[in-house]
Each structure stands twice: as C-alpha cells, then as structure tokens.
Chain A
Amino acid sequence: MSKKQKKQLYKIIISAIIFIVTILLPIPTVAKFIGYMLAYICVGGEIVIKAGKNMLRGQVFDENFLMTIATLGAFILGEYPEGIAVMLFYQVGELFQSYAVNQSRKSITELMDICPDTAVVIRDGMEETVDPEEVSVDEIVVIRPGEKVPLDGIVIEGESTLDTKALTGESIPREVGIGDTIISGCINLNRPLKIKVTKEFGESTVSKILDLVENASSQKAPVENFITKFARYYTPIVVICATILAIIPPIILPNATFSDWIYRALTFLVISCPCALVISIPLSFFGGIGCASKIGVLVKGSNYLEALANAEVVVFDKTGTLTKGSFKVNKIIEGELSKEEVVQVAAHGEFYSNHPIALSIKREYIDTKHTLDETMISDLEEVVGEGICGIYKGKKIYVGNRKLMKRFNIPYKEVNEIGTVVYVGIDNSYAGAIVITDEIKSDSKDAIKALKVTGIKKTVMLTGDIDSIGKKIGKEIGIDEVYTELLPEDKVNHMEMLLKQTSSSGKLAFVGDGINDAPVLARADIGIAMGGLGSDAAIEAADVVLMTDEPSKISKIIKISRKTLIICKQNIVFALGIKGIVLLLGALGFASMWAAVFADVGVSVIAILNAMRVLYYKVK
C-alpha cells in the first residue's frame, strides 16, 4: 500500500470506530450529533472540499460532488447514520479500487521485469559497470551467471544456457555458444558469457518489447470507448432524474412528502457514479494483455484483443509459420547401397557444406547415432549448381542433383517425390537418393485442431510453394483451404477476397513470420507475426507478436481474448443491471440508501475482482 492509501485506510478506520461508538452509546442527541459530525468530517471532509473546489472550476457532476450532495442531503433529512455509511463505504470502495489497480499494475510490471539495470562492459581491459544505455555497438559486455542479458549481441566467448521465460513463456532453457546471437532480457544461467553488442539499448529487443507493452493500453478497444461515452451521458441523466424525482412527485401526488421523495432522489445520486464500469473495462483488457504476455504473446493494443475474440478466419503463411522453414530428410531411397549407407555417404560428401540441404543430411546422420569422420574423406570438390564429388573410404562418391549424375554417367533412377531430391553415386554405380522436405512444425496440426475447437470457421494457407507440396502439407495439417504458387501480390489479392467472405462482425487474422509478408499482415484485420524474438520486422509490422514460433499459441491467445471480452460483458451487464434495479426500486421507494451504496461500491468491488480474474487466467 502506498502512503496515500495508508492514510486513507487510517481515516476510514478512525471514522468507522467513532461512528460505531456513537451509534451504540446511550448518549444525548447533541453528543450523538457531534459524534456523527466527527466521523463524517474524518472520512468525507476531503471529498466535500474537493467537491467545492471542483464546482468553482466548473466541474459539476463529478463523483465528489455527487457524494457530497447525497450525504449532506441525508443529514438534512436527519438520516445521519446513512449519510455517514454512504461516505464510509464510498471511501472503502475507492481505496479498494486504487489498491486493486495498483496490484494488477504491479503484477504486470513484474511480468515485464525484463529490463536490465546495469551492464558490465570491458573498456581498456578493465571491467566497468555502466547503465546499458551508455554501451555502444561493438563494445564487449560480460554477463555473469544469474544476470540479465543487458543488450542484444553475439557470443564471442563462453558457453552457457539462457532462460528466456520472461520473453517467451517457454520454460526450457536455450543453449548458446560462440557465434550465437542472443537477445536482451534473457537470464544467463550457468557460465559467464562475453558478447559483442550489436544494437544500442534503445534499439534492443528489451526496449522494443517494453515500449510495445506500455503503449498497448493506449490503443483502446471499441468496448472501452463505448463505456467512456456511456459514462459521459449516464451521470447527467441520473442526476436530472434525481432532480425531477425530488420535485415533481411531491407537487403532483397527493399525500407525497418532500422528505420522502428527496430521500429517493438521494439514492439516485449515490448510484449515479459510473466508476465501476469505467474502471473494470480497461482493467480487464490490461489483465488480458498481461495474461497474453505470460505465455509469450505480445498484443499491441486492447482493440486487437477485442478483434481476436471475434476471429472467424485464420489465414496462415506456410514457410516459417506452419513449417519450420528448415529442411529435413523425409525419405531415403535404396539403390546399390542400404538406406543407412546412402545417408552416410551423402553426409560425408557434404562435410564442408553449410547449405540448408547439406545440414539436414548431416543432421539426419548424426541423429541416427553416427559421427562424421573427417579422416575418411579427401579431395572433396564442388561442381557448381550440381553437387559435390570426392573420395570417401577410398571410393569415388557423387552427391548432388540429376545433372551431376548425368555428368558422371551414373545409372540413377528418377525419383518423383515432393521435395528436393539428392542423388548419391558411388564408383560409377547408383547408391540411392535422399528426399528432403521442409519440416512441418510439431504443433502445427494441433494448432489447427485447437482453432477448430475454439470455433474458428475456416483456416486457410497461402504459399508461394509449388502446388503439390502446398496441397500435401495443407492436407497433412488439416487446413480447410490451400492456395499455392502465389506471388507476394497474389497473397494480398487472396487476402482481399477472403476478407470479403467473412461476415460483417467476423474478423480475419493472418499469421506469418513477418519477413516477406508485411503487406498481408497489414491488410488483415489482425496481423499476427511469429518468432518475434530478434526479428524487428515482425515486431514492427504485426498487431500481435508471438515471441516463440509455435502456431499453437494462436488458439490460446484467442481464448484469452474471449475470456477478456466475456468478463467485460459480465461486468457491463452486472453493473448496469444492479444499478438499473436499484434505481427503479429507489424511485418506487423500496431501496434504501444502503442498497444504493451496495449498487455503487459493492458493484465496483465485484467488477474489479472479476476483471482481475483475467490476469490470473490459465489457458489450456
């Protein structure tokens, strides 16, 4: 609790004690009156002064003013306990509200506690601790175990594991070694690392993310705007109703007394503050955005969160989004040699090559519990655009495409498979072939299934890849519609078409890796970029950034957005419902001021607690 809040709490407690003692003690009326006054001044004096000041500045109808009129009105009618109770509860509600808001603000800041305080930089051979902002590009920074990585950079010394949980929501640590790029905000776990800084602090991942999250709540959702607008009219209308209620019925109706109707009017004033609603909506969205960042999803604004809840169609890019964008050995075809030997020969042939295809073959070989043996190879030579030939275990080997086989007259058999085919020849005979395809991400299929379960009507895949590959992958993952062989501009055209097909309230989300699909990301109702870690383009272009590259996060973020919206709606219906009922009962003379206090403060408290649920929502 802050100092201000504590002071407020003491005031409430003291006032409450005086109030209760005054009610219970059998003392003369005058003494009771003095007791009530003391209790009132203690808890509400400030409000009355504020109300007076605000009125002088032309701010009528603010909550201070309304509370002052309501309570003073009660006093004039001789309802001292009620007047004080209203003020007491009002203050309790205010205190709770500010406490709750601070709490959720704090928990989100903690969540986003990725900002490093210092950086240890090596200058003139000495270690110096400085503010990360003072470090410039190309300087060498030391990160000890347990410290946060202060700036983005490349590892030049040491090997360690990094905890990226704060950034990605991922609990598995990441191994890094020399040459790896690491990003600020991760925590170095076991051994010291030396990095060469690649970006200034202002440009670093941490700064970008913090900036994004901080600004997210200034992009307001339609629901939020609706409530603010509503609040603007609600108070004056209720106050006017109260005035009418106080004056007209006693004049028109026989037997009606002013004191009775003024009392009813005062209950109106107590209910007329829209604060519960106005606070609970942004609080829910704030919680929703916080909840999303817990699982490594950054939402750039409340408006996007609301749009996500209405997502109807989800369009995916293929490479890098549903597939890894890296290659994997998919099939091995035997020739003269066994499958295992084909890979063995090919892997050694590609020994010095760093091409993605070569890497995938080597990985396949190593993954099947083999080790590459450099001593067995010699005279490796590249035939540009065709492949590699050389000597392995004393035999002449050829690893490459069809052209290479033809060049050396290897009697190869044409392979008609989807993907890249690497043929392997050994000593003038055909050893076999390896088919390499882009690998589907392990969670792509589940991601699509989960989207269907959440009620997404249609999933679409857009790809520049050839038809056979695109269709096959689409079928494997379970995508409803697949459009292949698209140029970047075709993707935008297809997007337009799909946008036209969605219903008026339904939204379309596009998921891409942000690399070459920026125009499509921008055109969609909600642009979701994947693998935001380290990719500035993705963070810039998208409305929602998935820090990891798992498509399964999409259904989760949709669930969070729906939860947020449901809670907003619950709060609106609940708050307005209770207020409406109490207003009606108040007008008819059935609701006391106590009920009115509940309709105001009680509803606020419940709405706030309800809103805070979003922050602690666990998505499955």
Chain B
Amino acid sequence: MKKVFKLQELDCANCAAKMEKAINNIEGVKKATISFMTQKLTLEADDNIFEEILEKAQKAISKVEPDCTIVRK
C-alpha cells in the first residue's frame, strides 16, 4: 500500500533528508520519500503492518524534529 501524508511543522530541508533516510531504514518499508517543498511523506509498505510502520516512522521523525508530526486523515 502506498499512502501520502501531510507533515506538520517540518522546518528544515536537511532534517527532511535525515528523516527520509531513517524511515527507509525501518524494516518493512518498501519506499519512503519526504518532499520538503510540499511537506509530504509518501510511504509504501505492506498493508498488514502499515499502521505499525507509520508509528515507527513518526518516532523516527520525532527523533530528528520533535515538533514534526504526521497528519493522519
């Protein structure tokens, strides 16, 4: 499943790159990209563990920028 999420309070481009790398290193993630310009995270992972991975991705993001959150619809 591939889903796009908005990121709130994503302030620095270098941080976005760091987050992207960290999320790609999470086990089960097929591909993750963060676009600093559109403030969006595109996450591709297996359906059954998607929620779990999203949690981990949020943790990885918080580690780089504590204020930055994934907006879930």
Contact = CB atoms under 8 A, between A and B. Distances in A.
Contact of A62 (B13, B15, B34): B15
A274 B15 CA distance: 11
Q: Using C-beta atoms within 8 Å of the partner chain, give the interface range for chain B.
A: 20 to 34
Given A57-B63, A59-B64, A105 B38 contact: yes
B37 A286 contact: yes
Contacts of B40: 214, 218
B14 A278 contact: yes
A202 to B, nearest CB: 14
A231 B13 CA distance: 11
Contacts of B64: 59, 62
Interface of chain A, main secondary structure? helix
B33 interface: yes
Nearest to A281: B13
Q: Which secondary structure dominates where chain B touches chain A?
A: mixed
What band does the interface of chain A fall in when counting residues whose beta carbon is under 8 Å from B? 20 to 34
B58 interface: no
B45 interface: no
Interface string A195-227: 000000000000000000011011110000000
A279 B12 CA distance: 8
Contacts of A274: 14
Contact of B35 (A98, A218, A279): A218
B37 A215 contact: no
A214 B33 CA distance: 13
Contacts of B11: 98
Contacts of A53: 66
Contacts of A485: none
Given A63-B14, A215-B42, A275-B14, A105 B37 contact: yes
A209 to B, nearest CB: 15
A228 B17 contact: yes
A278 B14 CA distance: 6
A18 interface: no
B37 A278 contact: no
Interface in B15-72: 15, 17, 20-21, 33-40, 42, 63-64, 66
A220 B42 CA distance: 12
A101 interface: yes
B14 A220 contact: no
Contacts of B13: 275, 278-279, 282
A283 interface: yes
Contacts of B20: 228
Nearest to A290: B37
Contacts of B17: 228, 231-232, 278
Interface string A454-486: 000000000000000000000000000000000
Contacts of B34: 218
A279 B38 CA distance: 13
Nearest to B37: A286
Contacts of A283: 37
Interface in A217-269: 217-220, 228, 231-232
A278 B4 CA distance: 22
Contacts of B33: 218-220
18 contacts: A50-B66, A59-B63, A59-B64, A62-B64, A105-B38, A214-B4, A214-B38, A214-B40, A218-B33, A218-B34, A220-B33, A228-B20, A231-B14, A232-B17, A275-B12, A275-B13, A278-B14, A279-B14
Interface of B: 4, 11-15, 17, 20-21, 33-40, 42, 63-64, 66
Given A214-B38, A232-B21, A286-B37, 19 more contacts: A50-B66, A54-B66, A58-B63, A59-B63, A59-B64, A101-B36, A214-B40, A215-B4, A218-B33, A218-B35, A218-B40, A219-B33, A228-B20, A232-B17, A273-B14, A275-B12, A278-B13, A279-B12, A279-B36
